[in-house]
Amino acid sequence: MESRMKSKSLKRYVFAIILISVLKTSSCVTHYSIPEELDVGFIVANFANDLGLDVETLSRRKIRLDTIANKKYLDISKETGELFIVERIDREHICTTKAAAACVLKLDATIENPVRMFNIELEILDINDNAPHFRRDTMHLDISESTPVGERFSLNNAVDPDIGVNSIKTYYLSESEHFSIEIQTGRDGSKFTDLILTKALDREEQAIHNLILTAVDGGVPARSGTASIIVRVLDTNDNAPQFDEDSYTIHLTENSPTGSLVFKINATDKDEGSNSDLFYSYSLYTSEKTQQTFSLNPDNGEIRVKEIVNYEDFRVYDMEVIATDKGLNSLSGKCKVKILITDMNDNHPEISIKSLSSPVKEDIAVNSVIAVVSVSDKDSGENGQVDIHISDDLPFALKESSDNYYELLVSEPLDREKVPEYDITITVTDRGNPPLSDNETITLELLDINDNVPQFPQTFYTIPVMENNAPGALLSSLTAIDPDLHENQYLVYFIIEKEIVNTSMSMLFSINPENGNLYALKTFDYEIEKEFLFHIEARDSGVPPLSSNVTVHIIIMDQNDNTPLIVSPWRAHGSVVEEKIPRSTDKGTLIAKVIAIDSDSVHNSRITYQFLHNTDATLFSLDQYNGEIRTMRMFSYRDSRHQQLVVIAKDNGEPALSATVTIKLSTVETALKSYADMTEVPLGYDIFSDINLYLVIGLGSVSFLLLITILVTIVLKCQKTKPSKAAPPCRNSVISERNSTIADSTLVSNDAYWYSLFLAETRKGKLVVRQPVPKGARYVVSSLPRSTGLTETSDSAASTLQAQ
């Protein structure tokens, strides 16, 4: 048996590397080095020779070797004194810590007679007996077809329990035109890899990519392990989240309160729906210390203080944040955030108001001082230097008067009506990083001065007033506005006096001095007074008082309160007019002309004529506009000798007023001397009948009244302060234009049988009748003026018919 063991040991010594250190004293340590995984029975060394022991006495002295953890890896032959392996030695099993510098088994050998103890150290050398392996045999990656080239994907790294050159050396990826890998080395020397997209993916060309990742160690011969990578190409979510910046540098003051916002990172995804909803997370490259100090909100990317930060403990925090969308095949983007902790500026500047003038008058001069302010900051350096300012929108300015003392000045004119009170916020800010600030608000009240003139909404008021108004009637309310306060806005209203025909305006109108209500003090008559023009003044109660005035134009509106007056034919006795006409009168002959006048306004004074009674409707016609009564046919023997016509003259008012006249016509058979044969022959005084007498008396009275009216009108016009406005259109005639007969102004007619009845013309007590000029001549009839009514019409000369 011994010879067999010796032959084996000789063979194994060829492959083993044995380092033997032999010390002759019992207190020394005997050190051996062997590779792991040697066969059972392998002779490590001749322990007895190394220690100088007598081989013959080993059995008697009961040499023995201790067990380790209930395992006996080695033993000593009592016959030969050789140290040999009795159980498989696995370095990775015995020394589980990979980072250990050496794997050493410590044994104690004991002999008796006398008792001696020997210390043995057996170093187990690593051999490449373990192949690299991945924690997961298959890795699944879902990659969108829109993933940009160069995108990185973290892969699970392989592990190898061997150490040194026998550990993982490199990685290989199966041939692929779309992917490659990049190998990185960690601080502990471990190697890991990222999958890199080298060519854009197209799901329509290839939906699945099967890759083989191989990890190879550095042993001889080399060992390897593989993992399958299955890449699924997604057709939708083809936009990865992107951060606004690739890296951020943030300054954070120490002692920031827990939960305070440090920074909010923002990533965007151009996709829609769930593909654009993002959540944020730390990457594997973010240290545990950083994750303990700062929290990252996965929904909105807010980075907040999780633990109190201390500048003296840690000044820089590096983190890598991943933004991942919520699509079916999520994509992610990365950014780096560096947080720099700065020393805290922990003293706020202070403001003190030394003096303040409030309230002040609104007319305070520009550059006047209204307050003195002092500022201070307990910090030093830039943290103790302060800047003071107020809003640029305020009409004030700050001026430094001495160190840390400032004057608050008025920089622009003030107006209480625009801004009655100012809240002035003075802000002081130090120059620390970040800066601290404080503010103080002072209230400046403005006192009113009488600097605003009362203003009427209009500069000219036109007020229509219906005639026959009740005395004391409210005409209008003329109210002015004054934006001042108190007595400066209390207004009093006056009528500026103006006399009209020895009558002051205050006798015609009254105004309430408190509210500006304008009243009429009398009843107005349109036929006498048509308009008034005067001024009203509004005056405040300030010192000195301010005032403004407005022009008021009162227009008297006409009512239909005058009945038409029939002036032709003249009615001497009662209302019946008797006329005689030849029975041989031709068709269309003018029998009579009814003329009525109305002193109302143009609209109300339009007269129309109608028959109320006509003995024979086929014999006579009446023009409704000019009142002419003409024959419609020649008389026949059947017609009555006496005809009675009742004519009504009606105005255009509402309701209409009217007057009537009755004309009795008698036909005569005897041939009277025709008007055409008559010449201008004076009639004897013996024919000056009662009718003529009444006519003369009436004309004289009317002429006298007309003269008085003209004189009064001239006096009134002369007393006006300024020329009155254009008078209303005159009533040119009481005769309306109808079928080219008599017009409103001057009428020209070619009718050879035109006869005009002149009732008002007398000459030296004789009635004059003018015969017509020969046929074909033109007659001009001068019209009656409309403006003065009955008086002027009665006084005016009778219309004159002249041949042209």
**494-to-207, 513, 517, 521, 553 alpha-carbon distances in Å:** 98, 6, 11, 15, 16
Residue 250 contacts residue 337 (beta carbons within 8 Å): yes
Report how far residue 180's alpha carbon sits from residue 144's, in angstroms, rounded to the nearest whole number.
17
Report the DSSP beta bridge partners of residue 423. 443
Q: What is the pLDDT of residue 28?
A: 66
Q: Are strands 332-342 and 247-253 parallel, antiparallel or unpaired?
A: parallel
Which one has a higher pLDDT value, 751 or 430? 430
- The DSSP letter of residue 51 is H
Q: Comparing 279-293, 492-506, 533-547, which segment has the lowest mean pLDDT?
A: 492-506
| Phi (first) and psi of residue 563, to 5 degrees | -80, 140
**One-letter amino acid of 640:** S
Arithmetic mean of pLDDT, 29-52: 81
Q: Are 197 and 149 in contact (CB under 8 A)?
A: yes
One-letter identity of residue 161: P
| Interatomic CA distance for residues 243 and 20, integer angstroms | 63
Please say if the pLDDT value at position 147 is more than 50: yes
DSSP bridge pairs for 33: 19, 123
Q: What is the mean pLDDT of residues 134-157?
A: 86
pLDDT band at 310 (very low <50, low <70, confident <90, very high): confident
Instruction: List the strands of the sheet with 396-402, edge to edge.
Output: 350-356, 369-376, 405-410, 396-402
Question: Per-residue confidence at 560, pLDDT binned at 50, 70, 90?
Answer: confident
Structural domains in the chain, sorted by start: 29-125 (2.60.40.60), 133-234 (2.60.40.60), 242-342 (2.60.40.60), 350-420 (2.60.40.60), 460-557 (2.60.40.60), 565-668 (2.60.40.60)
Position 24 pLDDT exceeds 80:
no
Cβ neighbours of 456 (radius 10 Å): 18
Q: Which one has a higher pLDDT value, 1 or 240?
A: 240
**Which pLDDT does position 756 carry in this prediction?**
33
Q: Helix (H, G, I), strand (E, B), or coil: what is residue 86?
A: coil
pLDDT for 776: 37
Share of the chain above pLDDT 70, in %: 79
* Element (DSSP H or E) covering residue 646: strand 642-650
pLDDT in tens, 60-102: 788 888 766 667 778 787 788 888 888 888 777 777 766 556 7
- Residue 780: what pLDDT? 32
pLDDT tens figures, 400-454: 888 889 999 999 998 888 898 999 999 999 888 778 888 999 899 888 888 889 9
The DSSP H or E segment spanning 696 is helix 690-718
Q: What's the rounded mean pLDDT across residues 314-331?
A: 88
3-state SS string for 780-803: EECCCCCCCHHHHHHHCCCCCEEE
DSSP secondary structure string, 202-251?
A: -TTT-SEEEEEEEEEES-SS--EEEEEEEEEEESS-----EES-SEEEEE
Q: What pLDDT, on a 0 to 100 scale, did the predictor assign at position 788?
A: 33
